[in-house]
């Protein structure tokens, strides 16, 4: 009987001891968690930006990151920082990682603007739009219906390559709802190329323009929407005089 009571006492003593240990571990875990979450004990001291960028304001971006992630190094959510960074207008791609003990490393790939799109967006080399300011950027202007960005950019590149042989650039390019092409050159000549075989029609302009440039009047527009030939509009002397006076 004594032995049974002794075993029972030992069993309950072990249970109580185990419970005390578990409670102690739980309390220690909570305190450790609170300690790790405490920004004052383990702050993110350095946000290290790298990459090739000119338009990204990294000072502003760091403020946004710290505002969205006010906790410690351990509580910082890398995925949330990544989403925040890639949501910025001038960021094309980014990578984010922590570096022990107090650093956040961010590598940036900046958007490369190649054209303005519909006066309110910019285009990157892949025909993708992004919403950023274009002040100080000398970019050609492209216009077209939604979804035609890549088509317009591909057409621009093809035309630019052909016109570059003459030292002429494209100021504006417009693609209509019916996908007809109209181009404003940097010498103020407007080209109407229509919908079909626009590169062949542009080649026709390239072939004939040296003769047009020798004429006493300045060319206003060249309409190439014909199977053969073209129509030319001229600027009269009155308009030239007005331009010179202004």
The residues spanned by each domain of the chain are 46-110, 115-245
- Confidence class of residue 73 from pLDDT cuts 50, 70 and 90? confident
What is the architecture, at CATH level 2, of domain 46-110? Roll (3.10)
In terms of Cβ atoms closer than 10 Å to its own Cβ (0-12, 13-18, 19+), residue 156 is: buried
The model's pTM is: 0.77
Give me the pLDDT at residue 11, please.
64
Q: What does pLDDT average to over the chain?
A: 86
Question: For the residues 127-144, what does the mean pLDDT come to?
Answer: 92
Q: How long a stretch of residues is the chain?
A: 246
pLDDT on residue 227: 84
pLDDT > 90? residue 40: no
Q: Domain 115-245 is classified in which CATH homologous superfamily?
A: Cell division protein FtsQ/DivIB (3.40.50.11690)
Mean pLDDT of 168-187: 96
Q: Which CA distances in Å does 191 have to 142, 148, 177, 223, 224?
A: 14, 20, 17, 6, 7
Q: What confidence score (pLDDT) does residue 134 get?
A: 79
Position 177 scores a pLDDT of 94
User: Which of the pair, 39 or 229, is modelled with greater confidence?
Assistant: 229
């Amino acid at each position: 009987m004594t032995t049974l009571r002794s075993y029972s006492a030992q069993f309950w003593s072990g249970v109580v001891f185990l419970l005390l240990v578990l409670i102690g571990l739980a309390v220690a875990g909570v305190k450790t968690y609170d300690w790790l979450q405490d920004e004052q004990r383990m702050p993110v001291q350095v946000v290290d930006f790298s990459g090739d960028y000119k338009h990204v304001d990294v000072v502003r971006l760091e403020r946004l990151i710290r505002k969205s992630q006010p906790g410690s190094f351990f509580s910082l959510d890398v995925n949330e920082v990544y989403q925040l960074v890639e949501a910025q207008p001038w960021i094309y791609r980014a990578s984010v990682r922590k570096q022990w003990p107090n650093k956040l490393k961010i590598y940036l790939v900046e958007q490369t603007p190649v054209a303005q799109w519909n006066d309110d967006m910019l285009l990157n080399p892949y025909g993708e739009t992004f919403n950023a300011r274009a002040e100080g950027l000398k970019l050609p202007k492209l216009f077209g219906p939604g979804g035609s960005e890549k088509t317009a950019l591909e057409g621009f590149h093809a035309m630019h390559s052909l016109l570059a042989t003459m030292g002429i650039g494209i100021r504006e390019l417009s693609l209509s709802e019916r996908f007809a092409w109209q181009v404003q050159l940097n010498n103020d000549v407007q080209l109407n190329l229509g919908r079909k075989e626009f590169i062949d029609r542009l080649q026709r302009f390239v072939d004939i323009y040296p003769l047009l440039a020798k004429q006493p009047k300045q060319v206003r527009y060249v309409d190439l929407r014909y199977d053969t030939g073209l129509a030319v509009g001229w600027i009269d002397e009155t308009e030239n005089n007005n331009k010179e006076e202004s």
